[in-house]
Structure 1
C-alpha cells in the first residue's frame, strides 16, 4: 500500500487562490484586522522580526514559515531586501539548512522519489497537487551538496532554495515550481546512523541500477510534465557530466553546477578583463579544483578566447587545471576522463603539486578556486599572482564562506589592493588605501533565473550551449555605467529582475537561432517588443 502524505497546501483552487493572494490581504478585510493594520506596516514588522533572530539558521526557519503562511509576503520581502535575504534563503545559509534538515523537518515542500519507487515513478510524479501548473523543476540526488558532500535527502533545501530564487529573480510563478529530491541512498555514515534521518538507510546502488532509475525518472518526467524545464543540481561529479550528456536532448534540461557556474564565471571574467591592460589572447587561466563545476567552468571559459577570434585549440592552451594531485597533464597517473580535454599535452616535468610553484610555472593572469579548500590561496600565492600582471584576477568560488580559498581582505592585502575579486559566497566591503572596495559575488542567481525564464517562454525543446553562452554575455553586458566606474565585476543584486529579463531575451534569440524554440510568435517581435513581452510574463507579489 502506498501512503501519500497530504501536502501542507491544498490543491483546492479556492484555498490555493486565497493563499496566493496572501494572508495580509485577507486580514485587510474590515473586522478581520486591527484598525491600523496595513500591508506595508506588516512587512516592516516582519522584517524587524527577521532581524531579531540571532543566527542565520533561525532566520532561515523564520522565512520558511513565512513562505508557508503567506507566499506573497515572503516574496515581497525578498524583492525589497535582496542583498539581505538572498544569503539566508540560499548560500551560505542553505548549507546549514541541509545539514540540519532531518532534525528541523516540519512539512513537505517538494516531491521525494526513492529507489523503492522504481517502476512507479510516474505515479509519484502525479501526486504533486499542482501538476498542471508546473513549468520549472530543480532536481537533486543530494550526492554532492555545495562543498558538504553526500547529504542524501537532506539536500532538499537546495532544490527549494533555487526555486525561490527563480521566483524572486525572474518572476516565475510560485505555483509553477516543483522541487524534487531523488533518494538513492547515501554514502554518508552519519546519516545512516542518525535516528532522525528522513531518507533510505542504504548505500547508493551500482552504476547500472542508478542509470536505470534515472532513465525511468526522465522518461516519466517527460510524460507527466511535458512543459517543464528541468535543472539538475548537486549531483556527484561523475553523474553530473554523464546525466547531462545522457538526457539533455530528451527534455529541456541543464545542469547548473556545470553550465550555470560556467556562465556566471565567464561573465565575471569578461567584466574583469576590461580592467586588465593586456589583450584577451594573453590571458592565462588557472583553475584550482577539477570537479564537475571546475571542468564545466573551464569548458565555458573557452568562449572567453573564441569570442575574441581564437581557435578552439588556441583557447584550450590558455587554460590549466589543478586537482588534488597537482597539475593535470597527459601521462600523469589517475587523471579522470572528464579532465583529459584540459590536461597539458606537452608537459614533461616532474609532478607539480604545490600551488605556489604551479602559479610560478603557469604565470596565470586569472586564478579561480573551486576546490572547497579553505585558505588555499595563501599570501604567497596571491603575491606571486601579483607579479604576473598589474591587475590579478582572483576568484575564490567555493561555497559556503568557510570553504572559500581566500577572503576579500586577504586578496586585497597581499596584492597591495590590485586584485580584481569575485567569490562564490558573500563578503563585505573593505577599505584599502583610503578607498572602499566592493567584492563581486559569482552567484549563479545572476544566470539561471533568466536562462530558465527564456527557455520556458520560448518553449525550448532543449537547452543548448549557445543559450548558456548567451546568458553569460547578457550578464557581462548588464553592468551600468555607475557599476563600471566602481570596477564592479557583477551588477548589484537589487537589479536582478531587470538583468533576468535582458538575459531571457538573449536566451530566446539563441534558442531561435538554434531552432529549438517552439513559440514561433516570438520570432516576429523585435527586441524591444520581446523585452516588453518577457517583463509582462514576470510574476510579482
Structure 2
C-alpha cells in the first residue's frame, strides 16, 4: 500500500511520463516555460547525464545516481546503458550491487518493487494485486535476501538484487520495463547488525522456521500464478538448501528457474566449452580427458557442476563417466563418502574412489586430483594462492582457472595473479570484471562468467515461447548458444565469452535457441512460432525487443 500511496502523490505529468516511456511512445511535452529552453536535445542531455555520472568518485555514488535517473528518466537510463554497456553493467549489478544491498536501508529514497512479508501469510494474493501494472507484467525476480552474493543474510536489503537483475533483462534482452516486477520476500533475518539497526526497513525478527517458510512459499507461488498467468519467475539468492528445494518443488508446476543454480551453470558451461578447446589444443589431450575441481559446494557450486556434466555427455561420455571427472571441495576439504555425513545436495558428487584420510589443503587436493580446470565458488578471497596456481601451470600447458565468486573482494584470485603465477598460460574467467593485462609482450583479456550473458536470453525466449516450464534442455540450449556466439575476431584474441557490447545480439541468438528447445520439449504454448524458419524466428525475436526512444 505504501507504493500506491506514493504513486498517488506523484504529479500527473511524472506518472504519465513514466507510463508512456514504458509503452515506448513519446511522453507528452510539458507546458511552455516549465523546462529550460535547451532541454529538448536528447544527445546533449545524454552527455550531461554521463558527465554527472562520471563526476562521482565512488561506485556506490554512481549506483545511487543511476537509480535516480532510472526512476525519473527511464528512457535516458536505458539509452545510456545500451550505449555504454561495459561501463554500466558493473555499476547497476555486480560488483557494486553488493554495497548497494548492504547500504539499502540507509540509502533508501523511495519504494520500488513489491515487498511481501511472512506477516502477509493468508492474504498474499491481496498484497500481490496491489501491483499497479498487473496486465503488463511478464517477468519477476524474487529473492528472500538470505544469501546475497557472498555477503550472506541481508534480509530486505537484498531488494537491489531483484531490481538490478531486471534492469539487465531490459538492457540485455529488451524486456519491456513495464513488464518487470522486482520482489523481495521478508521472512525475517538472522543478521544481528540489521536487527539492531533502527533504519533497517524489514521486520526485525529472526528468520521463520522452515515449515513456516514452506507454507508461505506455496501460497506465494499459487497466488502469483493466479494474478500473473503469463509470468516467468526467476528465483535469486536463496540459501543453498532452499534454492534447491524450491526449484525442485515448483519447476514442473510453474514457469520458474533459479539463476544461481541454472543461470550460473549455463554461463560457466558456455565459457568452459571454449576454454577446454584452447586448453586441449595446447596439451594435445582429448576433450574427454578434462578433470574439473570445484572449490565451493553450495547451490552455485553444485549447480555449475551439474551443468558441466553436459560438457562431457556432449563429448559422448555416459552420465557416470561425466560425474567421475568432477571433484568438489567444501570447507572440510575433498568431498568423499568415507568422510562421513554431508548435506543432501553434495552427495551426488561425493567421491567413491578415495578412502584415505581427509584432504583439506587445496594444494594437496590439486596434487591428488591433477585437474585441468580449477573453479571457485567459495567466496574465499585468495584461495587460489601462488603455489596452487603454479602447480596448475606445472600440470597443464594452459590451465583453466575460473574464480567465480562475487564481488571482487571475495574472488579466489585476481586476473593479474593468475597471469603472473601461470606465466601467461592461464585460460581465465571470473565472476566479477577485471581489466585486460599486458604480459609477455601481448594483451590478455579476462573472461567474465557473468550470468548476464544467459539469463536475459533465457527469459526472453521463455516469455516469447509462453513456456509452461523451464526445462534443463532450454538451459543447456542457452549455454550452447552463448558458446557459439563468438566472432572470428573474438576467437583470434582467445576470448571465451563474447564482448558484452554485443549483448542484444547475443540475447536474441540465445532466445531463439531457448524457443527451439521449448518446442522440442513440448512446453511451448505459442505454437505459431513453430512455423517460422530460423531466420524468421530471429527476426521475430529481435522485433519484440524494447528500445528506449
Asked if these proteins are the same fold (TM beyond 0.5), I'd say yes
Counterpart of 1:149 in structure 2 is 152
Is 1:263 the equivalent of 2:271?
A: no
Render the CA deviation track for 1:291-338: whole Å, top value 9, x for unaligned. 000000000000000001000000000000000000000121242111
Q: Counterpart of 1:6 in 2: which secondary structure?
A: helix
1:206 deviation in Å? 1.3
Counterpart of 2:168 in structure 1 is 165
Render the CA deviation track for 1:33-79: whole Å, top value 9, x for unaligned. 42474101100111011000110000000000000101000000000
Counterpart of 1:474 in structure 2 is 481
Counterpart of 1:86 in structure 2 is 89
1:169 deviation in Å? 0.1
Counterpart of 2:251 in structure 1 is 248
Worse overlay, 23-32 or 256-265: 23-32
Counterpart of 2:450 in structure 1 is 443
Aligned residues of 2:118 and 2:186 also touching (Cα < 8 A): yes
Render the CA deviation track for 1:221-266: whole Å, top value 9, x for unaligned. 1111110000000000000000000011121000000000000000
1:28 deviation in Å? 9.0
Aligned residues of 1:21 and 1:72 also touching (Cα < 8 A): no
Q: Distance in 2 between matches of 1:21 and 1:240?
A: 34
Render the CA deviation track for 1:105-150: whole Å, top value 9, x for unaligned. 1111100000000000000100000011000000000000000000
Q: Distance in 2 between matches of 1:158 and 1:238?
A: 19
Q: Structure 2 stretches of 5 or more lacking a match?
A: none
Find the partner of 1:518 among 514, 525, 529. Answer: 525
Aligned residues of 1:8 and 1:108 also touching (Cα < 8 A): no
- Evaluate the alpha carbon distance shift between residue 4 and residue 441 of structure 1 in structure 2; reply closer, same or farther with a 3 A threshold: closer
Is 1:198 the equivalent of 2:198?
A: no
Counterpart of 1:66 in structure 2 is 69
Counterpart of 1:17 in structure 2 is 19
Counterpart of 2:392 in structure 1 is 385
Aligned residues of 2:155 and 2:186 also touching (Cα < 8 A): yes
Find the partner of 1:401 among 386, 408, 412. Answer: 408
Is 1:119 the equivalent of 2:122?
A: yes
Find the partner of 1:133 among 126, 131, 136. Answer: 136
Render the CA deviation track for 1:482-535: whole Å, top value 9, x for unaligned. 000000111000000000000000000000000000000000001000000000
Find the partner of 1:302 among 288, 309, 322. Answer: 309
How high is the TM-score relative to the length of structure 1? 0.97
Q: Counterpart of 1:431 in 2: which secondary structure?
A: strand
Q: Distance in 1 between matches of 2:140 and 2:23?
A: 23
Counterpart of 1:227 in structure 2 is 230
Is 1:344 the equivalent of 2:351?
A: yes
Is 1:49 the equivalent of 2:52?
A: yes
Q: Distance in 1 between matches of 2:432 and 2:16?
A: 41
Q: Counterpart of 1:471 in 2: which secondary structure?
A: helix
Counterpart of 2:218 in structure 1 is 215
CA RMSD, Structure 1 to Structure 2 (Å): 1.8
How high is the TM-score relative to the length of structure 2? 0.96
- Evaluate the alpha carbon distance shift between residue 246 and residue 129 of structure 1 in structure 2; reply closer, same or farther with a 3 A threshold: same
Q: Structure 1 stretches of 5 or more lacking a match?
A: none
Q: Distance in 1 between matches of 2:469 and 2:23?
A: 34
